Amino acid sequence: MATSQYWTLRKKKEQEWIKQNLANDELFAKRLTAFYNQAIADINTTIQVEINRVGADQVTKMDVQAFQGKAQTIVEEAEQRRKAGDHVTYSDYTKEINQRLKVYNATMRINRLEHLKSEVGLDMLRANLKVDAALRDKLAGDFQKEAIRQAGIMMDSAQHSKWTSPKMAKIIMAQTNGANFSQRLWANQDVLKAKLDQVLATGLISGQGVQVMARRLRDQVKTTVTNQSYVVERLARTESARVQVAVQMDAIKKDGFKYVEWIEELSACPTCKEIGAQDFGKGKGVWPIDKVPLIPVHPNCRCGIVEWVPDDY
């Protein structure tokens, strides 16, 4: 009876952990919103400053110098974040930024429109490097907390010390479908940049007055960037779940458990509910550990698992 009560309590604690993860997701989403709201403000300021100059024939030497100064500031910010972060998980942090700066530095000299696009690109780079750093730190924190949590569950005081930085980086930076979370984040940023370029080009050839044009651009920029923030929120939740469950599964396997029980989140989708209804002869939702579907099953998935043993164990 005592054993049965333990596993009932254990399952309840896992459900509470899922709720806590969902709450943490909401807190991180607020941080992302703040980053993107600042990006919207920065882009609007750039548009207001630059839009009166779009009709000029050429980009001046002073324009180039100002652009390069702004770009250098972003590079320095990125380097400071790289040095302050974990040396393993931040090893590729500045690579994506430098690649895009080369492109912007070349195209901004063509004409005023391209200069404006590149200036807006710098604003997005600054926002994305903050998002990338925040997500790296979050995933590293999620990893470490889960390792410590599993050490407590398995009553293994040395469990979390087994997780070295290289192993942490391997899990955090693992690729799914050919890309890791940071590569997906920068790919999403490129999509956003392309959309903003289109907004700027369309707005500037509309033939409207400068202030009308600026107002329309502000509205369209806000909508475009806000929509993109939802995409990144989904990525953050999905990657957090992946990292946590990778740590959990490793601990469960190391302790010799053969079965796990599927724990649905409150708003579980039909697919996850179907997984929880499967019966392999041990009861609904109890899966052989080598057959249980990988979490996250889909983007935003926050379902979980708990180690399982029979009542007479």
For the residues of 80-91, what is the DSSP string, one character each?
HHHHHS-TTTTT
Return the structure tokens found at 200.
Answer: 């700027």
Determine the Cα–Cα distance for residues 253 and 93; give it in Å rounded to an integer: 32
The alpha carbon dihedral of 127, 36, 295, 164 has a sign of: positive
pTM of the model: 0.86
Which residues on neighbouring strands pair with residue 306, listed in sequence order? 261
What element of type H or E holds 288?
strand 286-288
Burial 288-297 (b: 16+ CB within 10 A, else e): ebeebeebbe
d(CA 169, CA 88): 6
Which of 106, 96, 100, 95 is closest to 121 using CA atoms?
Answer: 100
What type of residue is 250?
D
Residue 285 near residue 278, CB atoms below 8 Å: yes
Q: DSSP of 164-194, one letter per residue?
A: -HHHHHHHHT--BTTB-HHHHHHHHHHHHHH
How many CB atoms sit inside 10 A of residue 100's CB?
20
Phi, psi angles (nearest 5°) of residue 270: -55, -40
CA distances 241 to 188, 250, 313, Å, are 20, 14, 30
The C-alpha angle 199, 200, 201, rounded to 5 degrees, equals 95
d(Cα 11, Cα 89) in Å, to the nearest integer? 32
- Residue 303 parent element (H or E): none
pLDDT tens-digit series, residues 229-279: 999 999 999 999 999 999 999 999 999 999 999 999 999 999 999 999 999
Mind listing the pLDDT tens digit of every residue in the chain (313 residues)?
446 787 788 889 999 999 999 999 999 999 999 999 999 999 988 888 877 776 555 777 888 888 888 888 888 888 888 877 666 677 777 788 888 888 888 888 778 788 888 999 999 999 999 999 999 999 999 999 999 898 887 655 545 455 567 788 888 888 887 888 899 999 988 998 898 888 888 877 766 666 777 788 888 889 989 988 999 999 999 999 999 999 999 999 999 999 999 999 999 999 999 999 999 999 999 999 999 999 999 999 999 999 998 766 5
**Contacting residues for 112 by C-beta, under 8 A, at least 6 apart:** 50, 53, 54, 55, 56, 58, 59
Distances (CA, A) of 74 to 24, 71, 126, 289: 29, 5, 6, 46
